[in-house]
């Protein structure tokens, strides 16, 4: 039995008729770039996240970039984030002209370690981007506390955390801006590229709204130099169909994660995901840590089980960021997870039987090489 790492087709199948009808409506109305379907999604998604404004944009990367631009981040500034993230978080910083500065992650939550934050702040620090990695919200209260003392903005990278909660509140409106990706593989995925920026701040909202549309306040009246970062109507229409199903999908992800945790309980050579008591984890990714990670990937692949690594090279050691002059050992926790993380199949449509097959295969591997 083959078990793929991701099965987007299985997720679409039951919604296909509804999605086809929604796409047809966009075609009939020709509202392709921005327009009424995007506005509807913005309103639905803001409501879902319990806040006032959401702006549809072209991707999660653009969402972070625009949020930083609207905050006035640019050349000569520094923006703090974590090395254990998808490169896009750092790229968005670089594309404002600012310099990414890293703070290591906490060994249990895999998100920014607030205890290490103060020492990374300099007079040039303009913003901090905690990443809700794998679907586990970062510990925002101490981060916001430090940021407020220094007058620094905080941007949530919530690209992996749709519907996740921190102290009972949904991610997205917990800081100055919240950025989401609707890349097809994310917990809420479009049929192509899409993203959103959320903010409680009317000033930031207005700036981002204008920036994403060539700096236009109305057609052909440009008050700033912006960029083309509009969301497509077709993506919005697909997301409008999928959003009402997100909570049920999240519930299934959480159930599956609990099942894996139970099946792995008591094994010494495997670290299962931690869930802080103050969060609702949405398990975008179910990652465990094992020492012989690469051998386990091979072992599972031979049995038709797909896996992933999130991520094999931390950002500070990527060739693209060699000029920042970080070396091996700079961020030991991020470096350790990059060596030991393996992401197992976890999606709503996975069956309990499949979860048993995967976990049994992992156990067989650990059993045959007990010092793994
Ligand atoms: C996916 C992702 C992004 C970028 O989103 P895109 O829509 O692919 O541009 C940024 N940060 C994190 C943590 C992500 O997982």
How would DSSP label each residue in 70-137?
HTT--TT-EEEE-SSS-THHHHHHHTTT-EEEE-PBPTTT-SB-GGGTGGG--TTEEEE--B-GGGPP
Q: Report the alpha-carbon distance of residue 163 to residue 187 in Å, rounded.
A: 9
pLDDT at 370: 54
Please tell me the distance between residue 331's alpha carbon and the centre of ligand 1 in angstroms: 21
pLDDT at 368: 83
Domain range summary for the chain, segments of one domain joined by +: 8-104+112-244, 246-368
The domain 246-368 having CATH identifier 3.40.50.1950: the answer here is no
Q: Are strands 177-181 and 153-157 parallel, antiparallel or unpaired?
A: parallel
Please tell me the distance between residue 82's alpha carbon and the centre of ligand 1 in angstroms: 14
Residue 279, pLDDT above cutoff 80: yes
Confidence (pTM): 0.98
Q: Render pLDDT for 189-230 as a digit per residue (tens, 0 to 9).
A: 999 999 999 999 999 999 999 999 999 999 999 999 999 999
Containing 298, the helix (H) or strand (E) segment is helix 293-302
User: From the DSSP assignment, how many helices (H) and strands (E) are in the chain?
Assistant: 12, 14
For residue 133, what are the contacts with CB-CB under 8 A and spacing of at least 6? 82, 84, 85, 105, 110, 111, 160, 310
pLDDT at 372: 46
Q: Report the alpha-carbon distance of residue 314 to residue 340 in Å, rounded.
A: 12
Q: Report the alpha-carbon distance of residue 39 to residue 41 in Å, rounded.
A: 5
Q: How far apart are the first and last CA of the chain?
A: 25
Which tokens go with 358?
Answer: 């995967």
> Best of 57, 60, 65, 85 to mutate for ligand 1, by most ligand atoms within 8 A of CB?
60
Q: How many CB atoms lie within 10 A of CB 240?
A: 20
Q: Render pLDDT for 62-81 as a digit per residue (tens, 0 to 9).
A: 999 999 999 999 999 999 99
Which tokens go with 355?
Answer: 């979860």
Residues contacting ligand 1 via CB (< 6 Å):
59-61, 85-86, 88-89, 131, 157, 159-160, 181, 183, 195
| Class at the top of the CATH hierarchy for domain 8-104+112-244 | alpha beta
Report which ligand 1 atom has the smallest distance to the Cα of 181.
Answer: 7
Strand, coil or helix: 161: coil
């Amino acid at each position: 039995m083959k078990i793929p790492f991701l099965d987007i087709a299985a997720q679409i199948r039951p919604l296909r008729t509804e999605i086809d009808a929604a796409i047809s409506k966009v075609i009939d109305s020709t509202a392709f770039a921005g327009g009424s379907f995007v506005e509807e999604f913005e309103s639905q998604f803001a409501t879902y996240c319990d806040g006032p404004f959401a702006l549809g944009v072209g991707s999660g990367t653009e969402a972070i970039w625009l949020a930083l631009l609207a905050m006035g981040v640019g050349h000569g500034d520094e923006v703090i984030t974590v090395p254990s993230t998808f490169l896009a978080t750092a790229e968005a910083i670089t594309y404002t002209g600012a310099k990414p500065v890293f703070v290591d992650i906490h060994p249990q939550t895999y998100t920014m370690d607030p205890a290490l934050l103060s020492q990374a702040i300099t007079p040039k620090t303009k913003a901090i981007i905690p990443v809700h990695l794998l679907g586990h919200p970062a510990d925002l209260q101490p981060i916001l506390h430090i940021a407020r003392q220094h007058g620094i903005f905080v941007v949530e990278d919530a690209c992996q955390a749709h519907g996740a909660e921190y102290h009972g509140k949904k991610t997205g409106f917990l800081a100055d801006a919240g950025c989401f990706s609707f890349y097809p593989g994310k917990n809420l995925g479009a049929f192509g590229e899409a993203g959103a920026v959320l903010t409680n701040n009317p000033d930031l909202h207005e700036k981002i709204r204008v920036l994403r549309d060539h700096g236009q306040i109305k057609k052909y009246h440009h008050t700033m130099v912006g960029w083309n970062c509009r969301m497509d109507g077709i993506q919005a229409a697909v997301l409008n169909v999928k959003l009402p199903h997100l909570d049920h999908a999240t519930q299934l992800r959480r159930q599956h994660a609990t099942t894996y945790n139970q099946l792995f309980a008591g094994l010494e050579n495997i670290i299962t995901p931690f869930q802080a008591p103050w969060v609702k984890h949405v398990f975008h990714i179910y990652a465990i840590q094992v020492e012989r990670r690469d051998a386990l990937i091979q072992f599972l692949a031979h049995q038709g089980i797909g896996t992933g690594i999130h991520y094999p090279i931390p950002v500070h050691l990527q060739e693209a960021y060699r000029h920042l002059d970080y070396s091996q050992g700079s961020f030991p926790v991020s470096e350790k997870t990059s060596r030991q993380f393996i992401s197992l199949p976890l999606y709503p449509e996975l069956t309990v039987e499949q979860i048993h097959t995967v976990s049994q295969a992992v156990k067989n591997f650990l059993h045959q090489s007990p010092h793994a």
